[in-house]
């Protein structure tokens, strides 16, 4: 099995200006020889933030990822391009390539930062703080280095298709490099599809083909709150829907479309 490098405290190591190699902590839950998308999603934001001009003062307000194929646990390249430059609105695209093949396309909308505190409202309540909650051993349900690396603290015992939980990690996104609160937050969001399982992953498989995140506020702190519901339809499609929280309250929403099918016989 290819487990990448064994750096103990990061999900990736930089190997070039735009190239990154995963460590064993980035291995996936459906297949340990593949990447878990969650840290890769954060890495994409890390790469975009290095390319976007910081002096613009624009804030990432939506990012959508399309997963184009198998995410091999191998070195990747991330190419970033500004598709629609602007002073108040900007669209940036990132493409992740493994062995020169595109495996993820992401598009991020940046919006101007404006003081709207006088009219802010419409969000929900804060979640119970993570320090008051006990950890949940997700590795009993899911394999892979990524799942083993995260601290998951549910607010109540997980139920089929419905769980609210905090997720955090002690591992850096890229070895020796600081990552922004946003990149670190988004590096944990894809965990949502594993915390509220509707059917055992040994009987059914339901990987997500995409992840779209909308933010009404920039997240802060070291914890990602996932208030998650999972729906399976009657014709092979599913949807994981999540209200995203930081310790101060809701920050946005995430949606993941699922392909649902019986697990292959072993």
Q: Number of folded domains in the chain?
A: 1
Query: Which of 32, 125, 34, 44 has its CA nearest to residue 71?
Result: 34
Task: Please report, rounded to a whole number, the percentage of residues in the chain having pLDDT higher than 70.
Answer: 97
Whether 118 maps to a domain, the answer reads no
The arithmetic mean of pLDDT across residues 246-256, rounded, is: 98
Pair type for strands 172-174 and 249-259: unpaired
Global pTM value: 0.94
The arithmetic mean of pLDDT across residues 223-238, rounded, is: 98
Per-residue pLDDT tens digits for 117-139: 999 999 889 999 999 999 999 99
The arithmetic mean of pLDDT across residues 151-171, rounded, is: 97
Question: CA-CA distance, 43 to 103, in Å (whole number)?
Answer: 14
Whether 102 maps to a domain, the answer reads yes
Which pLDDT score, from 0 to 100, does residue 266 have? 65
Per-residue pLDDT tens digits for 39-83: 999 999 999 999 987 777 899 999 999 999 999 999 999 999 999
Which pLDDT score, from 0 to 100, does residue 57 have? 86
Whether 1 maps to a domain, the answer reads no
The CATH number for 51's domain is 2.40.160.210
Sign of the alpha-carbon dihedral angle for 263, 156, 41, 84: positive
Whether 123 maps to a domain, the answer reads no
For all residues of the chain together, what is the average pLDDT?
94
Helix residue spans in 96-212 (DSSP H): 145-149, 181-186, 192-195
- pLDDT of 7 above 60: no
Whether 4 maps to a domain, the answer reads no
Question: CA-CA distance, 47 to 122, in Å (whole number)?
Answer: 32
Whether 119 maps to a domain, the answer reads no
Per-residue pLDDT tens digits for 25-42: 999 999 989 999 999 999
Whether 31 maps to a domain, the answer reads yes
């Amino acid at each position: 099995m290819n487990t990448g490098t064994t750096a103990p405290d990061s999900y990736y190591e930089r190997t070039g200006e735009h190239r990154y190699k995963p460590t064993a902590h980035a291995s996936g839950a459906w297949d340990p020889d593949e990447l878990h998308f969650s840290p890769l999603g954060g890495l994409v934001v890390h790469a975009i933030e290095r390319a976007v001009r910081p002096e613009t003062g624009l804030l990432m307000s939506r990012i959508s990822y399309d997963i184009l194929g198998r995410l091999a646990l191998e070195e990747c390249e991330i190419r970033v391009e500004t598709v629609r430059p602007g002073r108040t609105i900007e669209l940036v695209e990132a493409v992740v390539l493994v062995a020169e093949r595109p495996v993820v396309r992401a598009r991020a909308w940046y919006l101007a930062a404006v003081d709207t505190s006088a009219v802010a409202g419409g969000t929900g309540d804060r979640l119970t703080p993570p320090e008051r909650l006990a950890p949940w051993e997700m590795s009993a349900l899911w394999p892979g280095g990524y799942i083993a690396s995260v601290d998951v603290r549910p607010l109540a015992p997980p139920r089929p298709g419905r769980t609210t939980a905090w997720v955090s990690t002690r591992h850096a996104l890229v070895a020796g490099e600081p990552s922004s609160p946003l990149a670190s937050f988004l590096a944990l969001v894809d965990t949502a599809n594993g915390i509220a399982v509707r059917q055992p992953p040994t009987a059914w498989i339901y990987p997500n083909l995409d992840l779209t995140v909308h933010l009404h506020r920039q997240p802060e702190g070291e914890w990602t709150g996932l208030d998650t519901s999972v729906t399976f339809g009657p014709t092979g499609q599913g949807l994981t829907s999540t209200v995203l929280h930081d310790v101060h309250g809701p920050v946005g929403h995430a949606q993941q479309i699922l392909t649902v099918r019986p697990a292959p016989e072993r």
